[in-house]
Every structure is written in structure tokens, then in C-alpha cells.
């Protein structure tokens, strides 16, 4: 039977009468900063046998590279696809990023024949990343600060309406950009004096100018009415409000609610409850949830929205179940407590260490204190209806930027109510993670999946839509002639998606001729290349208390 113990800052694991040495010394130096995430994927293979290696020596950089691989060898969801330490040879890589990319390209998706983490337009993994902001400051970390309810940036993002038409796609309320008069739909004509902003020539420039570390950006733009303006936007700290717009529309005898929700932040609970309470008070029976740019966030926020939207009769039924690799599922409690998991802390909702209230005084909870069996209560989320809103149907507006916790929300509601998707196929991130602290960086690699109450998950190529259409970046939030919103309102009116020659559908007789759009493939590439550090993930703070 496997046994594990710690010696000289090295975890030694004995399995099947062999001794396996795991380097985790650098992982012991400090605790991680946040908790993990969830999503769905095909079942992992048989439990992993750790690699045989020699006693580690070397530089700090070499030991970090060892730890990256050896943590992955035990915790990565597709761990059985990884070769031995000797074959992989982590110290041969010139950077941590190069090693991580190589490590994530072994496990193949049988549906595509490509690695699960392969992206044709990028040299970075689809899911895995490092978060250096765990130990440093700045606004360039992969795990964006705005997921935690505050941000230190300009507060806006951009998207191409066509290859020469750069538009503001959203602005956070009370952000520096909002204070300078930017709104959704503004056309950017110059950035720091550069007027050639065409796709794809200007992408690298825009990533540096708008999504980099610069303190200011100088813009020339036309507002949504076409009036020319200029602004100097300075990066500064502000509180993120992920609710960008709400409204209630009268569609025949129906009341249809609309909410634009941009990120599953951990500070949004009270505001979400207020919006849904208002929907209930106004008699809303169908709801449009606009997640077109929502790359995810906290699972606790996602489950809050799910429970506000779900039928009351689902209370107590399974919402989704989390699945870890077979190695984590199979080890005993004692083995977990002697494994590398014991060196990764389990934090509370405020990001603080959780001390045990019983047992050994002063002991802090770690990921070794969780049960990784899919039948364990910790890994089964159940519906718990909240609020008075009773819905007959929910529409989700989605694009290739809709990911992770957004997809979890959709996938969890599909089995229990009438759900319609409008827009483009979603990003496809049915896996999740918890942070692995190695020296001064947090590593995020897929460690588990989720499946809904019907056992459905595995949407690696994204969730497909019921009505495919491009969005209209020239329109303000809530404009009934904006293509995607208009399709939802038309379905609420007619019970089907109206097919016309016009690219814009509306409840009124007004139609808008849409400009030439980027192709679906170009939009996919754009989502990967423009603002590449935009957060796509699910962060879960376990409900278990100690």
C-alpha cells in the first residue's frame, strides 16, 4: 500500500514496494492565494504511478521546473498522459511557460485528435497558466484582479466590429474609462497617436497600449452618436460592478427581464439579489442573461444565479458533480494528508487561511483535508432555490468569449428548464483548477471536471447555440435593435427565431444594415489574441468548514 512522508523538504512516496521521490520543496515556501475551480471532461484513465527520479539538486530555477512537472504528474486531470520525469526532462526548457505548454500537449481529445489544451492560433495552453500577480503587483496577471471585485486598470475593453472598425465593447461603471465618457459602441479612431488600428496588424500594439502596464492611454474616438472626442485614461483602482445593464421589456402580455453580467465576481451577491428581486416584483416570466464577454469567475456566484433562476421544485436535486483524476479519487485519507496536497492551503471566501475549530489547535486546513471521491458531499452541488422569481424560459446571449463559470451556469440549468442560446459557440472550458503555489508563482492546471445532473459535460469545443448570429457592436446595451438581444425578444414574442434577410431583427419595424463582419474563425483567433490575459476560469471556495 502506498505510504507518504516528508524528509528534508522533499516528499517521498512509496508505492507498490518502490520508492518514488517527488520534489515539492519550492511549493512549501508559501501558501497559495485563492481557491480552485470546476468544469467537465471525459473520465481520466487509471490511477497514476509517480515517476522514479533521483534526489533533487540544482538551482532555484531548476527546482521550480522540477516542481511544475511533478505537481502536474500527480494533480493534472490528464496525469496519465504525462511521461516519466526522465523522458520529459523539465530542466531542458528555457522558461516555465515553455515547460507548461509542453506538459499540456500530451493528452488528446478523441473528438478532435488534438490535445485538450491545443489552440491553433496560440502558443499557450487553452486552460493552464501561471499567475505571477500572486507575489507581485500590476494589472497583467492572468488571474485578473477584477474577479475579486476590484481592479487597477482602465476599466474598458475593445473588439473589432469588422477588420477596420475598432469599438468599445464594454466599460465598467465608475471606472477610469467611464469617467472619461467612454461607453459601449464608441468607435476608437486613434490610440496613443496611431490611427492604423486594423485587424490583425494592430493587435500586438493594442495589447500593449490598452491591456499592458502603461499608466495612461490617449484615445481619439467617436461616441455612439458619432461625435468626435478625445480622452486620456489613467489606470487606477476601482471597484468592479459586473452588472453592466438591466431592463424589463414588455413583449405582448409577457414581462422579459434582461441583465448584462460581465464577470462572476465575489462582490456581486447583494447586487444580484436586488436585480432578481426587482425582476420578480415586475412579474418577469422569461429572462435574458447576457454573458457574451463573461469569461467566468467564482463558482459561488454562478450557483447563486443558478438558484435564483432555477425552478423551486429542483431544490435538493443535484446541480452538478465534480470529478478529479483517478489517482486523487483512489488515495485514502491518510495518503492525502501525507501527499503534496498537504502543502496547498484551503482558504475561505475572504482568501484567508482556515483554522480547524476542532482537533489540533492552530492547524490550518489544506487541500489534503478534502475528499476527492465524486460521491463525497463536498463534490456534489445541489439546487437550493432562492428568491421569488418564477421563470418559464431563460435565454443566454453568448460568444466565443463566454467561458468557464458561464458555461457551468448554462450547463447546470439546461436539464431543469427551457434554455435557449443565442450568438456564437462558447469558448469550451469544461475543466477547473485550484492554485498550486510554487515558489513565487501560482500554477493553474486542470484538476477536475463537472457534469450536470444528467451527467452531461465535456464541451471542449464549446456549447453550441440555438440561433447563430453576430453581435452588433455599434449599439448600446439594451437597444432592442441590437442583433442578439432582438433575437431573444423575438423568440419571446413568437416562440421561434424569425429568419429574415436582414442581419438585425427587432420587435419594432426598424432594421439596421450590419457592416461586414469578421468570420467565425477570425473571431475565434481574435478572442485568443486580443487581451490574451483576459480571465477565463472558475474559482471555487469550498463550502466545507473546519
pLDDT digits (tens, 9 = 90+) for 63-76: 999 999 999 999 99
pLDDT reading at 210 higher than 90:
yes
Q: For residue 320, give the CATH number of its domain.
A: 3.90.226.10
Give the pLDDT confidence score for residue 440 in this predicted structure: 84
- Segment 67-86 mean pLDDT: 96
CATH code of the domain containing 234 = 2.30.42.10
Work out the pLDDT band at 433, boundaries 50, 70, 90: confident
The SS3 of residue 30 is coil
- The pLDDT value given to residue 481: 96
Instruction: Please indicate, yes or no, if residue 486 is contained in any of the structural domains.
Output: no
**What dihedral angle (degrees, nearest 10) is formed by the CA atoms of 134, 135, 136, 140?**
-30
Cα-based distances in Å from 458 to 51, 122, 453: 29, 22, 14
Residue 185 lies in a domain: yes
Task: Show which of 196, 219, 239 is a domain's final residue.
Answer: 239
- Asked which of 239, 257, 277 is the last residue of a domain, the reply is 239
More confident site: 460 or 137: 460
How much of the chain, in percent, has pLDDT values that exceed 90? 66
| Per-residue pLDDT band at 143 (split at 50, 70, 90) | very low
For residue 526, what pLDDT band results from cuts at 50, 70 and 90?
confident
**Grid cell for residue 204:** 500586438
Answer whether residue 224 is part of any domain. yes
101 pLDDT band, cuts 50/70/90, is very high
Structural domain boundaries, residue 226? 150-239
pLDDT digits (tens, 9 = 90+) for 310-329: 999 999 999 999 999 999 99
Q: Among 55-59, 101-105, 194-198, 246-250, which is the least confidently predicted range?
A: 55-59
Segment 430-434 mean pLDDT: 89
Q: Which of 293-297, 301-305, 323-327, 351-355 has the lowest mean pLDDT?
A: 351-355
Would you give the distance in Å from CA 87 to the centre of its chain? 32
Question: Quick check: is 499 in a domain?
Answer: no
For residue 139, pLDDT over 90 is answered with no
pLDDT(375) > 80 = yes
Please report the pLDDT score of residue 360 as a whole number. Answer: 59
Q: Are residues 307 and 195 in the same domain?
A: no
Q: Are residues 138 and 154 located together in one domain of the fold?
A: no
Query: Within this chain, do residues 95 and 194 fall inside the same structural domain, yes or no?
Result: no
528 φ/ψ angles, rounded to the nearest 5 degrees: -80, -30
Same domain, 183 and 314: no
Q: What is the mean pLDDT of residues 450-465?
A: 97
Whether 84 shows a pLDDT value over 70: the answer reads yes
Same domain, 441 and 368: yes
How would you classify residue 97: left for phi > 0, otherwise alpha for psi between -120 and 50, otherwise beta? Answer: alpha
Could you tell me which residues come within 8 angstroms of residue 201 by beta carbon, excluding any fewer than 6 positions away? Answer: none
Instruction: For residue 424, tell me if it sits in a domain.
Output: yes
| Under 8 Å between Cβ of 384 and 315 | yes
Say yes or no: 253 and 123 in one domain: yes
SS3 19: strand
- Please indicate, yes or no, whether residues 199 and 308 belong to a single structural domain of this protein: no
489, part of any domain: no
Report strand pairing: 129-131 vs 114-115.
unpaired
Within a domain: 504: no
Residue 511 counted as domain residue: no
Residues 218 and 252 occupy one common structural domain: no
**Is the domain of 181 the same as that of 103?**
no
* pTM, rounded to two decimals: 0.86
Which segment, 14-28, 248-262, 333-347, is predicted with the most confidence on average? 248-262
Separation of alpha carbons 340 and 336, rounded Å: 8
- Nine-digit cell at 425? 459557440
DSSP-derived letter for residue 345 is B
So what's the pLDDT on residue 61?
A: 95
89-93, 258-262, 479-483, 537-541: lowest mean pLDDT where? 537-541
Tell me the pLDDT band of 435, cut-offs 50, 70 and 90: confident
Average of per-residue pLDDT values in the chain: 84
- With pLDDT > 70 as the criterion, what percentage of the chain qualifies? 80
Q: Which residue, 224, 239, 254, sits at the end of a domain?
A: 239
Whether 31 has a pLDDT exceeding 50, the answer reads no
Q: Are residues 233 and 246 in the same domain?
A: no
Query: Is the Cα dihedral 437, 76, 429, 109 positive or negative?
Result: positive
How many CB atoms lie under 10 A from the CB of residue 486? 25
pLDDT of residue 363: 80
Q: Mean pLDDT over residues 19-25, rounded?
A: 34
Residues 259 and 229 in one domain: no
Q: How many CB atoms lie within 10 A of CB 312?
A: 13
Same domain, residue pair 363 and 401: yes
The number of domains in the chain is: 2
**pLDDT confidence band for 348 (50 / 70 / 90):** confident
Residue 430 has pLDDT above 60, yes or no: yes
Residue 525: what pLDDT?
A: 76
Amino acid at each position: 500500500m502506498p505510504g507518504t512522508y516528508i524528509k528534508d523538504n522533499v516528499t517521498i512516496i512509496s508505492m507498490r514496494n518502490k520508492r518514488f521521490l517527488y520534489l515539492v520543496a519550492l511549493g512549501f515556501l508559501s501558501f497559495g492565494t485563492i481557491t480552485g475551480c470546476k468544469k467537465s471532461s471525459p473520465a481520466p484513465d487509471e490511477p497514476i504511478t509517480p515517476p522514479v527520479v533521483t534526489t533533487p539538486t540544482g538551482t532555484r530555477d531548476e527546482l521550480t521546473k522540477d516542481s511544475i512537472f511533478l505537481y502536474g504528474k500527480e494533480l493534472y486531470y490528464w496525469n496519465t498522459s504525462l511521461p516519466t520525469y526522465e523522458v520529459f526532462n523539465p530542466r531542458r526548457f528555457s522558461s516555465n511557460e515553455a515547460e507548461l505548454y509542453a506538459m499540456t500537449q500530451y493528452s488528446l481529445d478523441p473528438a478532435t485528435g488534438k490535445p485538450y489544451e491545443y489552440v491553433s492560433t496560440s502558443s499557450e495552453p487553452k486552460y493552464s497558466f501561471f499567475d505571477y500577480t500572486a507575489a507581485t503587483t500590476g494589472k497583467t496577471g492572468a488571474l485578473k484582479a477584477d474577479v475579486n471585485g476590484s481592479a487597477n486598470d482602465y476599466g474598458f475593453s475593445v473588439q473589432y466590429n469588422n477588420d477596420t472598425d475598432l469599438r468599445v465593447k464594454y466599460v465598467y461603471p465608475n471606472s477610469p474609462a467611464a469617467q472619461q465618457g467612454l461607453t459601449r459602441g464608441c468607435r476608437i479612431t486613434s490610440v496613443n497617436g496611431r490611427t492604423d488600428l486594423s485587424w490583425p496588424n494592430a493587435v500586438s500594439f493594442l495589447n500593449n497600449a490598452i491591456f499592458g502596464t502603461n499608466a495612461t492611454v490617449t484615445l481619439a474616438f467617436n461616441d455612439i452618436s458619432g461625435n468626435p472626442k478625445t480622452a486620456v485614461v489613467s489606470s487606477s483602482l476601482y471597484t468592479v460592478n459586473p452588472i453592466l445593464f438591466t431592463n424589463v421589456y414588455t413583449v405582448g402580455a409577457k414581462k422579459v427581464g434582461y441583465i448584462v453580467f460581465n464577470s462572476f465576481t465575489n462582490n456581486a451577491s447583494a447586487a444580484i439579489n436586488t436585480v432578481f428581486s426587482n425582476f420578480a416584483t415586475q412579474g418577469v416570466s422569461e429572462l435574458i442573461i447576457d454573458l457574451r464577454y463573461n469569461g467566468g469567475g467564482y463558482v459561488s456566484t454562478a450557483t447563486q444565479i443558478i438558484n435564483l433562476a432555477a425552478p423551486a421544485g429542483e431544490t435538493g436535486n443535484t446541480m452538478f458533480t465534480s470529478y478529479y483524476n483517478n489517482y486523487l479519487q483512489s488515495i485514502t485519507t491518510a495518503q492525502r494528508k501525507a501527499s503534496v496536497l498537504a502543502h496547498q492551503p484551503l482558504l475561505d471566501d475572504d482568501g484567508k487561511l482556515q483554522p480547524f475549530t476542532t482537533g489540533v489547535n492552530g492547524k490550518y486546513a489544506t487541500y489534503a483535508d478534502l475528499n476527492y471521491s465524486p460521491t463525497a458531499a463536498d463534490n456534489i452541488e445541489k439546487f437550493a432555490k432562492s428568491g421569488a422569481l418564477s421563470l418559464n424560459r431563460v435565454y443566454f446571449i453568448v460568444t466565443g468569449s463566454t467561458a468557464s463559470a458561464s458555461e457551468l451556469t448554462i450547463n447546470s440549468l439546461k436539464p431543469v428548464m427551457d434554455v435557449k442560446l443565442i450568438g456564437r459557440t462558447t469558448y469550451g472550458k469544461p475543466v477547473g483548477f485550484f492554485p498550486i503555489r510554487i515558489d513565487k508563482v501560482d500554477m493553474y492546471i486542470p484538476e477536475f471536471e463537472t457534469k450536470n445532473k444528467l451527467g452531461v459535460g465535456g464541451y471542449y469545443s464549446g456549447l453550441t447555440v440555438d440561433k447563430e448570429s453576430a453581435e452588433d457592436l455599434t449599439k448600446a446595451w439594451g437597444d432592442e435593435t441590437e442583433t442578439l438581444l432582438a433575437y431573444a425578444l423575438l423568440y419571446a414574442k413568437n416562440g421561434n427565431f424569425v429568419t429574415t434577410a436582414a442581419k438585425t431583427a427587432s420587435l419594432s419595424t426598424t432594421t439596421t444594415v450590419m457592416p461586414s463582419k469578421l468570420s467565425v474563425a477570425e473571431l475565434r483567433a481574435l478572442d485568443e489574441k486580443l487581451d490574451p490575459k483576459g480571465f477565463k476560469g472558475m474559482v471555487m471556495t469550498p463550502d466545507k468548514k473546519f
